[in-house]
Structure formats: structure tokens, C-alpha cells
Amino acid sequence: MSRLLGGTLERVCKAVLLLCLLHFLVAVILYFDVYAQHLAFFSRFSARGPSRALHPAASSSTNCSRPNATAPSSGLPEAPSARPGPTAPVLPPCPDSPPGLVGRLLIEFTSPMPLERVQRENPGVLLGGRYTPPDCTPAQTVAVIIPFRHREHHLRYWLHYLHPILRRQRLRYGIYVINQHGEDTFNRAKLLNVGFLEALKEDSTYNCFIFSDVDLVPMDDRNLYRCGDQPRHFAIAMDKFGFRLPYAGYFGGVSGLNKSQFLRINGFPNEYWGWGGEDDDIFNRFTKIQNTKLTMKRDGIGSVRYQVLEVSRQPLFTNITVDIGRPPSWPPRG
Ligand code: BGC
């Protein structure tokens, strides 16, 4: 009888131990999952006006551990950022995990943000919004492309938050604001195509392209604006969508492709005039699904037509104003 009891007790103990182990494993998996999601948190500027922080998390002291480190005293080297000449010392490669990242950022859109202030805070950024880390050689040269029209207020905040983040990430980069001329229907994806071509005209060494909406700011600087082996979607957890994807296959907001990935899908579609759909079409280009499989061959970077009206190198970004035409009178999709 006592041997029987002993055996049962042993089995119960084993089962409890196993359960504990399982519990521990699940906890570890969840921890890393949440951690990864936090890196991808994005804050979208409120369309209702500048006087409101976007998400309670953005201003609550419990969720935001640190202010955005923007001042020159943030520990970043600030030497003039010229490419090394023949006599310049050869710098070591930039580390995969840049030191000096601060993690979660306090993002708010309430204080006034004059461009002079942003300029003062980013002395290492050269004319046109170009930057090269002074202490290491980055593996990629990144063109950040922003489709734009009449959003100067958003742009000031974007520059205020992104320049220090990109510098801390030790990126060699340039900022290109592609400004759609006139008042005809906006065409986000066509402007991104223009940005790709115009950035390359300016510097043929660009090999990574980050396409960002002007009102989207990462809430954690560990979300590295670099390209990978696959096209990347950076804005996978946005405050406006409750910090999750609105649907599987969502590719809007901020994405990144290297040069060959972009060319392999014939760039982005030119025929999405007005709000929505272009990001879904871009996603479909990777997966070659739906109608896009047929349209992407004829509609893309190979067929984009536009006229550059003005290139102006500002202290914090390059502004390219373009005439991209107007939508046809019938829907050309399909
Ligand atoms: C549109 C996308 C948009 C998404 C989220 C979809 O219906 O097609 O372009 O990004 O909604 O707002």
C-alpha cells in the first residue's frame, strides 16, 4: 500500500515539475515576444493638431523611461562628418549593436519645434540632411525618403526625433523629402519611386532605402533603420492601431528595402492616386499574389514619369519638389 502511495506521489511530483518547466518556457517566450514588439512601437502624429500627445503611453511616466536624447551632449561623437579621404585614418566597421542607444523614448508633439532648434541639436548633420558617423564605417548608406505635401509641422517633429535616433544608430544617411507640387490628388507610392531615383542621382552609393511617412516616429531607438536580407516593415506596432498590425500583410507607414530588393519588384506602383491600397500592392509584389502579379511588370520604377521642379538642400534635409502629373480620368488599376 505504501509503495503504491509512493509511486503515485512520485508521478504527481514529476507532473508538477513538468508543469513548472512548461510555465517557465512560456514565460521566457512571452518575454521575448513583448520585448521585440516594444522595439517596433511607433507613434503617429495626431491629425487633429499639435496640442495632443498621441498615445497615453507616450506621455505616461510608467511607459516611457527616458526622454529622447537630442542634445549634442548625448555622448555622441560630433566631429565633422566627412567621408574619409586618402589620408584619413581607416575607421573600424560600425558595430552591429550600436553603443549609446537609449531604448524607449518619450515622444510628444506639444512643445514648439523651430527648425533652428533641431539644427542646433544636430551639429554633425551636413547640408541636405547628410550624416556619416565620425568614428566608424557603416556597412550601408541609407536614403530615408519621405513623401510630402503641406506637412511642415509634422516634418519639424520628424526631424527633431529622427536625426538623433539615426545618429545614435551609427548610420550613414541622407534625408529626402519628396514634395508633390500642386494640389492634385496625392500619390504616395509614386513619390517614393521618385525619391529612390533622385537619391541615387545624388549619391550612387545608396544601397538601403527607408520609406517613411512624415508623421511616424519610432518610440524606441533599438528599431534600427537598416536594410536586411528581406524587405523590412518597421512600423509593425502603431499607437493608432493599438500597437498591433491592423491585418496580416499590412506594409504601411515605414518600410525598408535594399537596392536590389527594390529593383527586383520593379519598385512601387505609380497608379495609386489618393489614400490607401499602395502599401498592400507593395506587399503583394513580394508575395506575387493577386492582381499585382500582372500589373507590377508594367507599373513601377521602370515606368515612372515625373519632372523635378526644384532641388533645395536645406540644413536638415534635401527637399525635392516634383510634378508627378495627375490621376487619369478612369481608374487604371487592374
Ligand atoms: C489600405 C491601406 C492602409 C490600411 C490601414 C487599408 O484598407 O488599403 O493602404 O494602410 O488600410 O489604414
Mutate to test the pocket of ligand 1, among 255, 278, 279, 282 (most ligand atoms within 8 A of CB): 279
Residue 97 has pLDDT above 50, yes or no: yes
CA of 276 to the centre of ligand 1 (A): 5
Residue 295 CA: distances (Å) to CA of 197, 268, 270, 272, 289: 21, 11, 11, 12, 11
pLDDT of residue 46: 60
Residue closest by Cα to atom 9 of ligand 1:
276
Residue closest by Cα to atom 8 of ligand 1:
277
- Tens digits of per-residue pLDDT, 283-320? 999 887 677 878 999 999 999 999 999 999 999 999 99
Residue 29 has pLDDT above 60, yes or no: no
Q: Which residues contact 225 (CB under 8 A, 6 or more apart)?
A: 142, 144, 165, 166, 169, 171, 173, 210, 234, 256
Task: Give the β-pairing of 216-218 and 41-44.
Answer: antiparallel
pLDDT of residue 16: 80
When the pLDDT of each residue in the chain is averaged and rounded to a whole number, the result is: 84
For the chain, list the strands marked E by DSSP: 41-44, 141-148, 172-180, 208-212, 216-218, 232-233, 237-238, 254-258, 307-313, 318-323
Residue 69 has pLDDT above 80, yes or no: no
DSSP 185: P
CA of 234 to the centre of ligand 1 (A): 16
Residues with CB under 6 Å of ligand 1 are 246, 252, 276-277, 279-280
Nine-digit cell string for 262 = 527594390
Do 46 and 54 meet the contact criterion of CB atoms below 8 Å apart?
Answer: yes
One-character DSSP codes across 89-145: PPPPBPPSS-TT---B-B--S-S---HHHHHHH-TTPBTTTBB--SSSB-S-EEEEE
pLDDT of residue 50: 27
CA of 122 to the centre of ligand 1 (A): 34
For 153, the 3-state DSSP assignment is helix
Q: Which residue has the higher pLDDT, 243 or 167?
A: 167
Confidence of residue 76 (pLDDT cuts 50, 70, 90): low
CA of 246 to the centre of ligand 1 (A): 8
Mutate to test the pocket of ligand 1, among 212, 236, 280 (most ligand atoms within 8 A of CB): 280
pTM listed for this prediction: 0.79
Do 315 and 127 meet the contact criterion of CB atoms below 8 Å apart?
Answer: yes
Give first-to-last CA distance, the chain, whole Å.
Answer: 78
